A and B are shown apart, each in its own frame.
Chain A
Amino acid sequence: MAVNYSAKEEADGHPSGGVGVPGGGAVGGGSGGGGGGGGGGGAVKTRKPDNTAFKQQRLPAWQPILTAGTVLPAFFIIGLIFIPIGIGIFVTSNNIREYEIDYTGTEPSSPCNKCLNVSWDSTPPCTCTINFTLEHSFESNVFMYYGLSNFYQNHRRYVKSRDDSQLNGDNSSLLNPSKECEPYRTNEDKPIAPCGAIANSMFNDTLELYRIDNDTRTPITLIKKGIAWWTDKNVKFRNPTGDGNNLTALFQGTTKPVNWPKPVYMLDSEPDNNGFINEDFIVWMRTAALPTFRKLYRLIERKDNLQPTLQAGKYSLDIAYNYPVHSFDGRKRMILSTISWMGGKNPFLGIAYITVGSICFFLGVVLLIIHHKYGNRNTSADIPN
């Protein structure tokens, strides 16, 4: 801006500077007045512009000329790079084991059909069990997700309906949550902790996985820690501070979200996974980007190197069905998946890379033909007629 401003000054200064001091300032016009003084003093100085590369627009420049001949290599190189990458990604993605069960229970045959119209806090919870069979064993660590469909966690006002300060353990926000949380800010004149629609609608189904081995149900250890981002758990979400570690006392004066059966300090028995730093809660609070999403629920760690984490075979899923999605045609899923360096199973990226690489390669060939047919014309600036 500064440079340009001085350019303008100069632009105005020339005329008025040339015609004399006071009158020039006056006659040169509103903006011309500014430059008058400068012009007056420089009578000795020649007005010849500097002969610099910049001012004369002679800066050395790379002038890309896009012709078939010059860009040929680029296309081939892109093709040659993209295709292997695509194949790599595709293979990786294919190696990922994934299993998905829809337990919404909309179909009458589904065991969970009975729970379809549950409310938030029905006691005792409606439970249902779904049996399934894994065709392939899961070799590495297995991630257990719950998936929701048609759930617009990305609704603008839903996304806003939270108070990050409260979640960060700010005591004043705890008792006086942000207005953004309305109408889930207070309940019966008590501030809600955690406030807002997101927290209020927290997923509260409980999923338990059993391996059925000769009619014996062996529970599979589901690890509930380490499912949230480290920074979320350790920096962004903090419990309120105060004397002692008694969460009940710390959350004194607040009330639970309307839909929750129990207050936030009773989410878990372990103190480092309770309150705001409960990882299930943290995961839920990270609002999903798309209406169909999954969220990490539990981890199943591989115990030893001899056995796969989940062997092929029969399993059953016990569900404490609390979360009502039927009202908005939502679906609920449970997903078991191993992951790779590129995350979950997704063939798209690999296919896309392969496709784009092939297209580039093909275009390269086309351009090669074009170059051979027409390319020579460019070197000599012939007239096309």
Chain B
Amino acid sequence: MADPIRWARYRWQRLISTEGREGSSSSSSNKCYQSSKTTGKHRIVIPCLGHFKEEYEKVSKLYMNNQIRTTKYTLLNFLPRNLFEQFHRVANLYFLFLVVLNWVPLVEAFQKEITMLPLVVVLTIIAVKDGLEDYSKYKMDKQINNLLTKVYSRKEKKYIDECWKNVNVGDFIRLSRNEIIPADMVLLYSSDLDGICYIETAGLDGETNLKQRQVVRGYSEQVSEIDPEKFSSRIECESPNNDLSRFQGFVEHSNKDRVGLSKENLLLRGCTVRNTEAVVGIVVYAGHETKAMLNNSGPHYKRSKLERKVNTDILWCVLLLILMCLTGAIGHGIWLSRYSEIPFFNIPEPDGKSIPPTLAGFNMFWTMIILLQVLIPVSLYVSIEIVKLGQIYLIQNDIDFYHERTDSTIQCRALNIAEDLGQIQYIFSDKTGTLTENKMVFRRCSIAGQEYCHEENAKRLESYQEMDSEDEDSADHQCGSLTYRSKWRGHNCRAVNKPLNRRSLNQLSGSYPALVREDGAGDVPHSGHVAFSSPIETDVVPDAQLLEKFTQISSRSCQQSEEASSKLSLETTYITDFFLALAICNTVVVSVPNQPRQKMRHSSLGRMPIKSLEEIRQMFQRLSVRRLSSSPLPSVKESSSESPNSFVSKLSIFRMKLASPALDGAAQRAAEHHNTDSPEESQVPQELDMVNVAAGCERNSAASSIELSPLPKLCYEAESPDEAALVHAARAYKCILQSRTPDQVTVDFAGLGSLTFQLLHILPFDSVRKRMSVVVRHPVSNKVLVYTKGADSVMMDLLRTASEGTNNSEMEQKIKERTQKHLDEYARRGLRTLCIAKKVMSDAEYAEWLNHHFLAETSIDNREALLLESAVRLETELTLLGATGIEDRLQEGVPDTIQALRKAGIKIWMLTGDKRETAVNIAYACKLLEPDDRIFTLKSQSRDACALVMSKILEGIQKNTSASKKNSQKLGSVSASPSTQAPGFSAGLVIDGRTLEHVLHDSLQNIFLELTEKCRAVVCCRATPLQKSIVVRLVRNKLKAMTLAVGDGANDVSMIQVADTGVGISGQEGMQAVMASDFAISQFRHLKKLLLVHGHWCYTRLTNMVLYFFYKNVAYVNLLFWYQFFCGFSGTSMTDYWILILFNLLFTSVPPIVYGVLDKDVPAEILMQLPQLYMMSQKSVAYLPSPFWITLLDAFYQSLVCFFVPYFTYYGSDIDIFSFGNPINTAALFIILFHLLIECKSVTWIHTVVIVGSILLYFVFTLAFGATCKTHNPPSNPYWIMEKHMTDPVFYLVCLLTTCVALLPRYLLRVLQGTLFLSPVLRAKHLDRLTPKEQREAIKRWKDDCIVNCRVEFQATSGSSSSATGAVSEGESIVSVLPTSKAPLQACSRHGLVEDTSFLPDIQDESGTTNGLNSEKNVFLNSAKKTNSDTFGSNNSCTKVSMCASEEGSSAVSLAHKAGLNSVLCEEDALMYFTKSECCLKPKSSNC
């Protein structure tokens, strides 16, 4: 019962449960390690064919086959094992102890068998539950084990159907499209010509986007399928582990050549093959050794706060029990010692002697424990479990959590912490995807230092805001069947199809959709849904200015495409490169919408007009290479030791496309109808599509010139939504990503036609580098290009330095500065920024780098580090092209939710990896920070500085709060405000990731927490996943606060796991967060109801039920205790043992459960409207120590009444024991049930039925028992007692009186509470009584009161704060950036009303580097807003006041302003001081 014990038990259980599952596997793999001495911890996989047969037989026995067994029990071991496990529960052990105790004759209190009853019942219930669970697992296993797959059979020399369970390591498996992969296998063949296989990992991590897998190098060139008979290589790889993102190993061919294997070559069990006709692989891990199975860690176990409290209270009960038993023991001893000789009612021992009083007393202690055992509410545990299940059931069925668009509702993954939702004090929220939609929308870009602000695009987004809720329904299915609303055609720049057209397309394009649906939809409900492609994301309206420039390039390049690039001006080169980078520098997969997941690809016989003979020659060259390498045994040597030279020869620089004349003509005809310059009209004429489809080939490749590009409907599936947004943006400028294969990318570039880039390398994104790069060979210039995109903080450092002093570099410097300015501005608007850069490499440079890279790629150990190093080596000396700003809109209802949660007394922290400006702006937008808040920014380089800054801030805050307190005292009328923190003072804290590191250091934790407690919101930006979890752990452990972490992505997983309650948002970024979470919701706003309503309900329900349980048991057991005073403490029970046991098990067990599941103190609507009510449960009001003790006191009182009223009534009469017990017991039943009725806040028919049913059951049982049981129950004799009592009026009179007297105080207490000391909850309950209109008014009045209170406080604060820091307040001007999700709106004032930073520490580092604190005060000024909105309304432009400050200038000014401070220290990328003198007003016109 004590925490450590439970914990230990849990660990132990985990150990046990994993033993069975993995016991055999680990032992076998251990053996395997021993046997393969040469390879250490690697495993060797050999096909069971040919000349390996002997070795295969030796090795294969060591590996598990593919049969899985997830069940815990077998038929034989179920009973012993289940019992064994159940007895790890302390409660059960306690019961067992009692049972055993009862078998000791000396202390035996009950009949031996009876004590076993509760234990047996509890064990049976749990065993049945476990058994059913296990049985369904068994059925599931059987179903999976018996799935069929094609395995190569040596005997029949072909692939035959085999059950999954018969698959062994080393088997060759052939899978077709949409088949599920039965075991982890290395991909050896793919019908895809590029050796690619697409898999969908939804079954593994829930991510719906496709992942590419590649055939092992050396096998990809084969044309025909691999022949297992001729496979003569052996595979060495790691021993099984659970890291999904890692796989290392190599293939060793018969000639000792080794080819490295990576996760790109591994097909994981549980994934589905998509878009690939056939694949062949060799199994390397099977069954429980597969990564999927090893990742199956089982459900996680969390214990709720309430449960912990219950445990302490149970300890109190144990103490009480011991006290009572001691009383009994001592009493018995005293009672015995009173008699000089043995009285004849005290039975002597068999030897005729009586035992001494002390020993008798000792024995009596144990007897009493048996007798009073019910005091420890063991049924409480079972009841709590059941109640929680009921609560979870109701949460899951709440229709408000249903999200229409994704057809998803809440998932409760942890079953036992629902009540924790009612006690949350801190919410840690991710930003992207959690607060925001994670629908990345391209907003603006800056190319070569020139900004293009995309006004039209902004307008489009605005209008989407209102409409998208209805429109995105269709958006989600857009790849399947599109029915675009005509109203969007106006500014859709993508092709819009008419439904008719679509339908005909589907008909013509064969059965793919049906096929996919057939077996794809079955297991993946969202297979039709493609991530990141709602119209809001895909439709980008090009900026007019930029488009104009772009068309210039296009037209020029049309005329002289060959040497276009060289002749174009520098700016146009930038623009071209910029868009090429957008289109290429990504990992987007292209597919055609009407054939979901069907990759767009071009056969090697392209359809492009032949441009030159040279190209034809190259084409044939390539084809011949293919042919040559298509021998069954691939030329391993060549491919495995690729040298740069052979590499170049292998290149196909151009992938040409041959268009059929008919198609071309049709397209041309069609194109005449529209003008592509205006995107609005870029609508595909119907006939064109028809013709294209009729021709039976992909339409989108039909066009070769800008005139003919019909902007085909392509689906882009990207790993991150930013990428998709950028590709869509590029596409809006007719720079269309057409297809992507592992070694080439085709871009339909408006001016230059289809360009096929040889894709040399992709250096994928990682969080360390914060960038990704692609290395391509430019088709025209034939140069090796590196396109890099990444976060500006890292990118800016990688740019080519201006050391050369040339003209170019000067310009580059200028571009860099201006771009940085734009980037800062984007960030202030809450946009996500990315820098785009490029680098041109010479062949020699490239070859050198490639050499290194190749080494890195092929090494088995330490490969990741080497690859990283290699990537870093490449990404230097970049030329900045430009930057993009992508908007991530707030989710629906986020500000409202945050405000409500705020009012509920929950502190919300935002932990994001984004940069500070973006984070702060989102925080403003979602009302996390209020315009009136004082913002402190923590940004320091060293720990000491950090400490100093924090203490300064604290000082300041304390000064403020004390001042405001005084003020509020003066005002007097302000009473307890809902918020617990310093009244009226609201501060926000913004911390940078690097500073966070210092702050989280042990020495600073306390001051940091003290500081954060004073702030209403904390924003941590640039936080790594690890930091996120550390922050959560810190708050959780140090402040002992209930924490909730909410996030949607893999980077939030650690935080979600650390928090008391983890909430995952099943959004765009896959299921990892959901998998780790306790609750998964689809929208952030659902958090409001989840916490405010369900959290409140679950908490109050459970606490009340738990309290009631304690009350019930104490009250009932005390009846027995009081009786001991009248039976010489001999342990007699005046109630029949059966009824005694059944009283808890049967007669009074269901009502509390119903109460715990269904009680409703305040209706949902009112809880939603008055978040303040949440604070009641948050502060554990219902379950503080005092209610517990009051409940126990009440229980004592009631038991006293219940015992002594009958006692006095029957005193001195001829009543016998069990007749005396009967009215007591009956009265106790009524008292206990009616007590529940008093405590019930709402009584439904279910309550009524259950309570009436319980009473009836009791009477029926006792009557039946009394009528039948003459002799069957030896110690007690209930025979005919109830019957006799039922005819006795005294019985009724006693029951009536007892019940009334016992319940009177509780009833009176409730009445007085309801009249005199109204708690907010009660008041809210009264609201429910009112008519809707009155209710509305009352709620409004309630709210208004709060607001008035707050206002008074605010005024007090602002007054005081300005007086406190007035010295520096003059002349400072503040910029307030208030991004709204709708429009860019920036407010500015030249004369700030409120002062700027007040706490500037005078810190000077010894090293001379500058440390600084910049605390800025962002004030939203109403006046500014007004002016702004005026201008905004009139000319559709944003009036922007840009504050620029050079570092010197600002420090100078600051020095001037902040007299008394020695110096102002700025960091290199610290924010600027916005001072009046430095402010340059830059009104922006519509043409930007």
Contact = CB atoms under 8 A, between A and B. Distances in A.
Looking at B524, B525, B973, B1310, the one whose CB has the most chain A CB atoms below 10 A away is B525
Contact of B1205 (A352, A359, A381): A352
B387 to A, nearest CB: 9
Given A288-B1216, A363-B1308, A29 B296 contact: yes
A269 interface: no
Nearest to B385: A4
B803 interface: no
B372 to A, nearest CB: 13
A314 B1243 CA distance: 64
Interface in B251-265: none
B1217 A59 contact: no
Interface stretch (A134-142, A145-153, A216-224): A145-153
B399 A56 contact: yes
B408 to A, nearest CB: 6
A155 B396 contact: no
A294 B1214 CA distance: 5
A165 B1127 contact: no
Interface stretch (B546-554, B574-582, B751-759, B1337-1345): B1337-1345
B1132 A200 contact: no
A138 B1217 CA distance: 30
A371 interface: yes
A308 interface: no
Nearest to B1247: A61
Given A20-B523, A378-B1315, A25 B347 contact: no
Contact of A22 (B17, B180, B399, B1220): B180
Given A25-B144, A290-B1211, A31 B1242 contact: no
B245 to A, nearest CB: 15
Contacts of B1074: 15
Given A25-B144, A229-B1284, A352-B1205, A164 B1270 contact: yes
B386 interface: yes
A40 interface: yes
A15 B1075 contact: yes
Contacts of B523: 20-21, 24, 40, 43
B1326 interface: yes
A71 B1128 contact: no
A63 B1341 contact: no
Contacts of B1280: 229, 231-232, 235-236
A22 B144 contact: yes
B82 to A, nearest CB: 15
A82 B1304 CA distance: 14
B661 to A, nearest CB: 45
Given A180-B1275, A235-B1270, A344-B1213, A19 B203 contact: yes
Contact of A375 (B144, B407, B525, B1315): B1315
Contact of A293 (B272, B1212, B1289): B1212
A383 interface: yes
Contacts of B408: 18, 47
Contacts of B1279: 231-232, 235-236
B521 interface: yes
B1243 A62 contact: yes
Nearest to B1277: A164
Contacts of B17: 30
B344 interface: yes
A295 B1213 CA distance: 8
Interface size bucket, B side?
A: 35 or more
Contacts of A303: none
B120 interface: no
A286 B1216 contact: yes
Looking at A4, A85, A289, A375, the one whose CB has the most chain B CB atoms below 10 A away is A289
Given A8-B415, A34-B133, A153-B345, A160 B1209 contact: no
A23 B1213 contact: no
A152 B343 contact: yes
Given A20-B523, A33-B137, A49 B1213 contact: no
A77 B402 CA distance: 49
Contacts of B204: 19, 23, 27
Contacts of B1211: 290, 292, 346, 348
A11 B1316 CA distance: 43
Interface in A1-56: 1, 3-5, 7-12, 14-15, 18-37, 40-41, 43, 46-51, 55-56
Given A18-B206, A19-B1071, A163 B1274 contact: yes
A249 interface: no
Interface in B587-636: none
A286 B1278 CA distance: 11
A153 B346 CA distance: 9
B1241 interface: yes
Contacts of B341: 327-328
A168 interface: yes
Interface string B1280-1304: 1001100011100110010011001
A306 interface: no
B1219 interface: yes
A156 B295 contact: no
B393 A4 contact: yes
Given A57-B1164, A59-B1244, A327-B341, A20 B1311 contact: no
Contacts of A360: 1300, 1304
Contact of B296 (A26, A157, A182, A344): A26
A155 B347 CA distance: 9
B651 interface: no
Looking at B1132, B1207, B1312, the one whose CB has the most chain A CB atoms below 10 A away is B1132
Nearest to B1124: A156
A289 B1217 contact: yes
Contacts of A176: none
A151 B389 contact: no
Contacts of B346: 152, 155, 157-158
A374 B1315 contact: yes
Contact of B1128 (A155, A183, A289): A155
B295 A66 contact: no
A67 interface: yes
B686 interface: no
A165 B1329 CA distance: 62
A349 B1293 contact: yes
B1219 A370 contact: no
A370 B1274 contact: no
Contacts of B182: 22
B1086 interface: no
B50 interface: no
Interface string A218-262: 000000000001011001100000000000000000000001000
Interface in A311-362: 327-328, 341-344, 346, 348-349, 352-353, 356, 359-360
A88 to B, nearest CB: 10
A25 B1158 contact: no
B298 interface: yes
A24 B139 contact: no
A154 B1219 CA distance: 12
Contact of A27 (B139, B292, B1325): B292
A123 interface: no
B1289 to A, nearest CB: 6
Contacts of B1271: 164-165, 167-168, 170, 236
30 contacts: A7-B393, A10-B396, A20-B203, A24-B270, A26-B68, A26-B296, A27-B270, A29-B298, A33-B140, A47-B409, A57-B1158, A59-B1244, A61-B1244, A64-B1238, A66-B1310, A156-B109, A159-B1275, A162-B1274, A231-B1284, A236-B1271, A290-B1126, A292-B1212, A293-B1212, A295-B1214, A348-B1209, A349-B1208, A359-B1304, A367-B1311, A374-B1316, A383-B1345
Given A64-B1243, A180-B1274, 17 more contacts: A7-B392, A11-B392, A12-B299, A22-B164, A26-B292, A27-B203, A65-B1329, A152-B346, A159-B1275, A183-B350, A200-B344, A236-B1280, A290-B1220, A349-B1208, A352-B1208, A378-B1326, A380-B1338
